[in-house]
Chains A and B, each alone.
Chain A
Amino acid sequence: MMSFVVRRLFQTVPVILGVTLVTFLLTQILPGDLADVLLGPAATEESRQQLRAALGLDRSLLVQYATYMSHLLSGDLGQSLVFAQPVATVLASRLANTALLAVSAIILASAVGIAIGTFVALKPDSFRDYGLTTAVLFLNSMPPFWLGLILILVFGLELRWLPVSGMDSAVGGGGLGDLAAHMVLPTLTLAAWSLAVIARMTRSALLDVINSDFVRTARSRGLSEARVILRHTLPNAMPPVITVIGLQAGFLLSGAVLTETVFSWPGIGLAMYQGISARDIPFIQGGILLLALMFVLVNFLVDALYAYVNPKIELQ
């Protein structure tokens, strides 16, 4: 298993390089160039040329990429226009908030998704199975930010049960309870889509395994139904579910942009939304790079977990 993990680690390196190349290339597809964007339409041609020279935009693409990479390695992601601070500083100050939301959403989606998927798989083609199919259809056809609005409408504005904006209350805020109350709706919104996908995957993976020969073998040896499900069925159904959870982690990281915008949650996503309206290209570039690297990391961890769950992987 260790050799697999090490091999997988080596495979990650070119991917990370590729990711930096793609984020670098984003500035190359700008109409005009970065100097135009940074200075806006009012600037003089002279100041543009000066900035171009300062940014090295007159150099070859390769040199520009090398410069970009060397800045990157020293933690320099450029200067944000909207926040008038280094991009890295803004990202660092907001990373924890986004991670908090994403992690609680993935935990919620995995736990509830696996539970629902299992519950349904135990009685396929029943009423509950059709219920799940329908719920999945609706959840996966719903724009996630729209679900957020509906939740705000119902639980915030109508029932007035939960706060709908930010991380803490302006008056009498603070404290863990207040934070938790603010987290409920964004977490639900963010988790809904993934929860549906995970539940559906769990159901089909379990049904595949439940009909397999080795489950029949376990039953033929008089083992209890609980052991048959918990010891023989679930562990063998987990690999595809884990893969899906890894992929969902990506959707959660990008979904944060939409969810944070709807709930004004002060994370990287909300900042990126503000960056989009102001064409703050350096910040958007930095945000995308950070979230993509986090996704690469998550996928690596998921594969390591996969190797742990599946002893056969050693052979590949």
Chain B
Amino acid sequence: MQRLSSNTAFVAGILLLAGILAAALFADALAPHDPLLANPSVRHLRPFTPGHLLGTDELGRDIASRLLFGARLALLVAVVPTLIALAVGGLIGLAVGYAGGAWDSVVMRVFDVMFAFPGILLALGIGAALGPGLGSMIIAMVVVTIPAFGRVVRGSVLAAKEEQYVEAARALGYSHWRVAMVHILPNVLGPIVVYATLQTGRNVILAASLSFLGLGPQPPTPDWGQMLSTGRTALAIAAHVATIPGLAIMLLAIGFNLLGDGARDLLDPRMKRDQP
């Protein structure tokens, strides 16, 4: 039952993400209009208006087209920071976790300081300091997520180091490199991949939040967070301009969360569920 339902979650997550990926890849072919083309004569059209399936925004741009092109950006800002932070944080975590000692303490204290900044605050500060834009947003996201990856990898490595098979490998005269790469890394990979998937889901929200605060890609780039932010001003007269991009953000995040939860249960049913 448990396995079946996590399987369903996994498959649902894959389908959802595949759909969004297809929309992003084929946006040129699928989009009925130019996402940047303003048309003041058709401002704030309701959804299901012929020609504008999801209506138009405050400048008369086609929302469906903007969503399709925005999917590219949304996937990019979710996945790229995850991959960079995973690579950097993961290597740091593996190195200090395996070696231990003074380096481990120093790196952990640095991470402690980074964790002292709640939620999006540090990203907000870095974004504001660097100035708004896609590049600084990605830098901000990478910097604030490195400590989390570092800690997760280090924790798994520390746990794996205590395993008897690691001590057995040492007794067999294997080199440190072999022990770390052949005996520890493959055994910690599963939880780390799961964590990275869930972090990608959180990155969707983080990126949307930074965009919403005006720190992301600037207009007229079709960006979901920014679409939501500008649509907010006309909430009373054309609610769909703000609510539809929000729905898109949520679907993307749900996709990654389903994938991550499903993978977690599939990879190791005994692994503790429901870690925050």
For B126, list chain A residues within 8 Å (CB). 26, 29
Contact A137 B257 (CB under 8 A): yes
For B15, list chain A residues within 8 Å (CB). none
For B125, list chain A residues within 8 Å (CB). 23, 26, 284-285, 288
Contact B274 A203 (CB under 8 A): yes
Most buried by B among A141, A272, A279, A299: A141
Contact B274 A142 (CB under 8 A): no
Question: What's the least CB distance linking A189 to chain B, in Å?
Answer: 13
Contact of A149 among B109, B201, B208, B232 (CB under 8 A): B232
Q: What separation, in Å, do the CA atoms of A243 and B110 have in the docked complex?
A: 21
The yes or no answer to A144 lying at the interface (CB within 8 A) is yes
| A258 and B116 contact, Cβ closer than 8 Å, known pairs A197-B276, A281-B129, A291-B121 | no
Contact B243 A31 (CB under 8 A): no
Q: Please give me the residue from chain A that is nearest to B202 by CB atom.
A: A140
Contact of A254 among B118, B129, B258 (CB under 8 A): B118
Contact B128 A281 (CB under 8 A): yes
Q: Please give me the residue from chain B that is nearest to A18 by CB atom.
A: B113
Contact of A22 among B117, B119, B205 (CB under 8 A): B117
- CB under 8 Å from chain B, chain A span 237-264: 244, 247, 249-255, 257-258, 261-262
Q: What separation, in Å, do the CA atoms of A244 and B251 have in the docked complex?
A: 25
Q: What separation, in Å, do the CA atoms of A101 and B214 have in the docked complex?
A: 23
Contact A18 B109 (CB under 8 A): yes
Contact B130 A145 (CB under 8 A): no
The yes or no answer to A9 lying at the interface (CB within 8 A) is no
The yes or no answer to A6 lying at the interface (CB within 8 A) is no
Q: What separation, in Å, do the CA atoms of A33 and B138 have in the docked complex?
A: 21
Q: Encode A120-146 as 1/0 by CB contact (under 8 A) with B.
A: 000001000000000001101111111
Question: What is the total number of residues of chain A having a CB less than 8 Å from a CB of chain B?
Answer: 61
- Where chain A touches its partner, the secondary structure class is helix
For A265, list chain B residues within 8 Å (CB). none
Q: What separation, in Å, do the CA atoms of A275 and B125 have in the docked complex?
A: 11
The yes or no answer to A100 lying at the interface (CB within 8 A) is no
Contact A258 B118 (CB under 8 A): no
Q: What separation, in Å, do the CA atoms of A296 and B118 have in the docked complex?
A: 9
Contact A284 B128 (CB under 8 A): yes
The yes or no answer to A115 lying at the interface (CB within 8 A) is no
The yes or no answer to B254 lying at the interface (CB within 8 A) is yes
Contact B235 A138 (CB under 8 A): no
For A150, list chain B residues within 8 Å (CB). 243, 246
For A273, list chain B residues within 8 Å (CB). 213
The yes or no answer to B253 lying at the interface (CB within 8 A) is yes
Q: Please give me the residue from chain B that is nearest to A197 by CB atom.
A: B276
Question: What's the least CB distance linking B264 to chain A, in Å?
Answer: 12
The yes or no answer to A55 lying at the interface (CB within 8 A) is no
Question: What's the least CB distance linking A168 to chain B, in Å?
Answer: 21
Contact B276 A258 (CB under 8 A): no
- CB under 8 Å from chain A, chain B span 245-259: 246, 249-251, 253-254, 257-258
For A142, list chain B residues within 8 Å (CB). 205, 246, 250, 253
Q: Encode B224-238 as 1/0 by CB contact (under 8 A) with A.
A: 010010001001100
The yes or no answer to B212 lying at the interface (CB within 8 A) is yes
Contact B124 A288 (CB under 8 A): yes
- Chosen A-B contacts, 14 in total, with CB atoms closer than 8 Å, are A26-B125, A29-B129, A30-B129, A137-B261, A141-B250, A142-B250, A149-B232, A157-B239, A251-B118, A253-B119, A261-B212, A276-B128, A291-B121, A299-B116
